[in-house]
Copies of this chain bind each other. A is one copy, B any other.
Amino acid sequence: MAINENSQRSLKKKNNHRAVSIKDIAKAAGVHHSTVSRALRDGPMVKDETADRIREIAKAAGFTISAVARSLATQKTHLIGVVVTDITDPFHHEIISGLDKVAEEKGYSVILADSQGDPDRERRVVRSFRERRVDAIVVMSSRVGGRYTPELAELKIPIVLINNQLREGFVHSVNINNVEGAIAAVRHLIALGHRRIAYIGNENPVYSDAERLMGYRRALEEANIEVNQDFIVHSEFGPEGGIVAVRKLLAMEPTPTAVFCYNDMLALGVLKGAQEVVRVPEDLSVVGFDDLFLARYLEPALTTVQQPMWEMGKLVMELTLKLLAGQKVQRTMSVDGKLIVRASTAAPSQE
- Other-chain contact of A100, B19, B90, B94, B112 (Cβ < 8 Å): B112
Q: How many residues of A contact B (CB 8 A)?
A: 55
- Other-chain contact of A268, B100, B101, B127, B297 (Cβ < 8 Å): B297
A121/B94 contact (C-beta < 8 A), A111-B110, A132-B68 known: no
How far is B124's CA from A86's CA once the two chains are assembled, in angstroms?
Answer: 28
Binds B, one of A46-54, A255-263, A269-277, A315-323: A269-277
Cβ-defined contact, B66 with A87, below 8 A: no
The proximity string for A residues 85-121 relative to B, scoring 1 for CB distances below 8 Å and 0 otherwise, is 0111010011011001100100001111110100001
Cβ-defined contact, B72 with A68, below 8 A: yes
Cβ-defined contact, A67 with B132, below 8 A: yes
Cβ-defined contact, A87 with B100, below 8 A: yes
Q: Which of A17, A113, A127 has most chain B Cβ within 10 Å?
A: A113
Cβ-defined contact, A101 with B114, below 8 A: yes
Interface pairs A-B: 4 shortest CB-CB: A299-B299, A67-B131, A112-B112, A67-B132
Interface residues of A (CB under 8 A from B): 17-19, 62, 64-69, 71-72, 75, 77, 79, 86-88, 90, 93-94, 96-97, 100-101, 104, 109-114, 116, 121, 124-125, 127-128, 130-133, 154, 239, 268-269, 271-272, 275, 293-294, 297-299, 301
Given A64-B130, A100-B112, A294-B294: 6 more A-B contacts, CB < 8 Å = A64-B131, A68-B77, A87-B96, A112-B112, A239-B297, A298-B299
